[in-house]
Structure 1
Amino acid sequence: MHLFKKGKCFLPLSLSALVLAACGDDSGAAGDESNESNGENGEIELTYVAWESEVASNNVIGLVLEEAGYDVNLNQVEQAVMWQSVAQGDADGHVAGWLPSDMATDYERYGDEVVDLGPNLEGNRTGLAVPDYMDVTSIEDIHSDNFDEIVGIDAGAGVVDSTEQAIETYDNIDIPLQTSSDAAMTAELGQAIEDEEPVVVTAWEPHWKFNTYDIRFLEDPEGIYEEEEEIRTVVREGLEEDEPEAYQILDNFYWEADDMNEVMLDISENEMEPEEAAQNWIDNNRDMVDEWLDIEETDEDSDSE
């Protein structure tokens, strides 16, 4: 499985002939062929955004698809490109559709050009969060007397767009929104908590930071952020006909927030590589994975017998 991740290249054991575009390197890298899928069912490209949650989900479903006989490429891109690449057929799908609100703009633009397979995780949410040691409880409490800035993630991310809307809606917010990345945001959050300094961040759950740190969402009286969201699986038109088994596996893919958190915590706290953490979760949840792999026989399978 090939994995691109911004700022760092994770080179899994099954890697072969990867163009290291995300690292600014045009050279290839060979992996251990003994661990590589035979690709008997063809190739599948999944695209995703550089959020810890999506690193976890893509590595898990990528390994499951490899187990089914596919060569899998995971390609990290910006949020809008993630949707556009599936709509244009340049990628086969993504499992990172935060809806109905967080990626509403992308869904409105590309929803008619993709196939929405429904949620692979439910009950997630977004908002602004602070450490428990702070005495603020609501977004209405955010102002320059207690914060210097709101620490955000990637410009264009749904939670950032919602935060920009919150700044316009709440008259009390007189501090800037600083965009960065998921990794930079969590690093700044961790440092602030270590020093017990004031900090407010764009947040979403599931995310390992809610397990690692004592933090909480701020109340949102204006209802800018959705409290109940889904993460949906979205694939390109024609995938069901071209790769029916992969389509069925992606359609079957469904897990809980605790499952995603297990993978994220192994990466963040136990310092596992993403693929190792994903494989560890798969090994410990064999029954669920077997349900994803339980697919109906395709016409192509019947013809080959």
Structure 2
Amino acid sequence: MKKTTFACLLGAAALVAGTANAAELGAVDQPIKLAINEWTGQHVTTHIAGEMLKAAGYKVEYVTAGMLNQFQAIADGEIHATLEIWSSNVSDEYAIKISEGTVVELGDLELAAKEGIAYPAHVAELCPGLPAWEALKACAPLFATAETLPAGRLVDYPADWGTPGADRMTGLELPFKAVPAGSEGALIAELRASTERKTPLLVTFWQPHWAMSAYDVKFVDLPAGEEACFADPAWGPNPNAINDCDFAPSRIFKAAWSGTAETWPAAYEILSNYTLNVADQQPMMGAIDVDGGKVKEVVAAWMEANEASWRPVVDAAIK
């Protein structure tokens, strides 16, 4: 696992925090309860934060909570923090609780979330000009299959996830036919087969995901996904269509119960300054989802190997 990227992201936060006086620990006899949501990456994110809090001298409990409906429990102080909120998939309740002042935002996690049209790295050798999206116009026949001829084949998200890949092919007038994958597992199987056989593949995918690292997946460079692109046909390279651009960018951030800062001042500072790099998270996801590792064991190994990265954030808050 990488030992430097996380340190780079944390360095600035640690430097800023280190210029201030150390915070009080607060109610160390009361456990800090962290939300555990539905996906592996969030488990990794949360357990790293939990281990940092333990290193500072706190007790930590992990509470299973649905991502969309966790905010009432946080507002009530039944859960004290949630560490990986995606702007692309957050309930309206979050904004309500923020406006009420019962939930407070802790800043960006700085995990580089992205959805897009992607390909295994070796495909760039087959289609010169990638990652520029315009290269796909000439290369489309390379991606064709019996079911898509003469168009190229794009493996899109499963049908019940929507048709974002197909929308981009239409918007950008690219000669590709989008074929829905049967499941997330089917998308991964396509990436695996393409990587092993060095065959062409274009796929709708996202990060953070362990497969991004395992199969060296790259994103096609599309026009920026600005809001106007999704409503105004005149915006973008195709004046006759919307969706002629990349996916809308996602922000990943953290939030806490409004009483956290007063109850555990140093913990609040640690969680506020905590960030995580996708290059660190994705291999841990793979160690869990692919290799069968336990979240606690995988995170513990990472913490031990990367103490120089996370320890300054803890020390800045308590010393």
Q: Cα gap change, 1:164/1:258 in structure 2, threshold over 3 Å: closer, same or farther?
A: same
Tell me the equivalent position of 2:37. 48
Q: Cα gap change, 1:123/1:149 in structure 2, threshold over 3 Å: closer, same or farther?
A: closer
Tell me the equivalent position of 2:308. 287
Give, as a single letter, the amino acid of the residue that structure 2 aligns with 1:201: T
1:251-304 CA-partner distances (Å, limit 9, x unpaired): 13123333324533543566532211100111112233323323657xxxxxxx
What's the % identity of the aligned pairs?
Answer: 19
1:216 lines up with 2:218 in the alignment: yes
1:61-111 CA-partner distances (Å, limit 9, x unpaired): 22333443323215263x433556545655322211234xx3477565665
Give, as a single letter, the amino acid of the residue that structure 2 aligns with 1:119: D
Distance (Å, rounded) in 2 between the aligned partners of 1:104 and 1:149: 26
TM-score by length of 1: 0.62
Distance (Å, rounded) in 1 between the aligned partners of 2:167 and 2:154: 18
The CA deviation at 1:203 is: 1.3
The 3-state SS of whatever aligns with 1:147 is: strand
Tell me the equivalent position of 2:79. 91
Distance (Å, rounded) in 2 between the aligned partners of 1:223 and 1:247: 38
1:127 lines up with 2:116 in the alignment: yes
Distance (Å, rounded) in 2 between the aligned partners of 1:164 and 1:108: 31
Tell me the equivalent position of 2:99. 112
The range that moved more, 248-257 or 261-270, is 261-270
Tell me the equivalent position of 1:62. 50
The CA deviation at 1:169 is: 4.3
Q: Cα gap change, 1:89/1:193 in structure 2, threshold over 3 Å: closer, same or farther?
A: farther
The 3-state SS of whatever aligns with 1:293 is: helix
Give, as a single letter, the amino acid of the residue that structure 2 aligns with 1:200: V
Distance (Å, rounded) in 2 between the aligned partners of 1:153 and 1:73: 34
The 3-state SS of whatever aligns with 1:118 is: strand
Q: Give the structure with the higher percent helix.
A: 2
Q: 1:255 aligns with which of 273, 276, 279?
A: 276
Written as runs of structure 1 = structure 2, the 5 A alignment for 1:1-305 is 40-50=29-39, 52-67=40-55, 68-75=57-64, 77=66, 79-82=67-70, 86=74, 90-99=78-87, 102-103=88-89, 111-112=98-99, 114-134=103-123, 135=127, 138=133, 144=148, 145-147=151-153, 149-151=155-157, 155=161, 166=168, 169-170=171-172, 174-175=177-178, 177-178=180-181, 180-181=183-184, 185-194=187-196, 196=199, 198-204=201-207, 206-221=208-223, 222-226=244-248, 230-267=251-288, 271-294=292-315
Contact 1:47 1:74 in 2 (8 A): yes
Where relative contact order (Cα < 8 A, 6+ residues apart) is larger, the structure is 2
Aligned length: 248
Q: Cα gap change, 1:214/1:257 in structure 2, threshold over 3 Å: closer, same or farther?
A: closer
The CA deviation at 1:151 is: 3.0
1:2-55 CA-partner distances (Å, limit 9, x unpaired): xxxxxxxxxxxxxxxxxxxxxxxxxxxxxxxxxxxxx833241313341x4323
Distance (Å, rounded) in 2 between the aligned partners of 1:241 and 1:186: 45
The 3-state SS of whatever aligns with 2:301 is: helix
The 3-state SS of whatever aligns with 2:304 is: helix
- Structure 2, unmatched stretches of 5+, are 1-27, 224-243
Distance (Å, rounded) in 2 between the aligned partners of 1:87 and 1:203: 31
TM-score by length of 2: 0.60
Distance (Å, rounded) in 1 between the aligned partners of 2:299 and 2:114: 23
Q: Cα gap change, 1:40/1:185 in structure 2, threshold over 3 Å: closer, same or farther?
A: farther
Contact 1:46 1:73 in 2 (8 A): yes
Give, as a single letter, the amino acid of the residue that structure 2 aligns with 1:112: S
Give, as a single letter, the amino acid of the residue that structure 1 aligns with 2:33: I
Distance (Å, rounded) in 1 between the aligned partners of 2:303 and 2:80: 22
Distance (Å, rounded) in 1 between the aligned partners of 2:167 and 2:75: 27
The range that moved more, 242-251 or 190-199, is 190-199
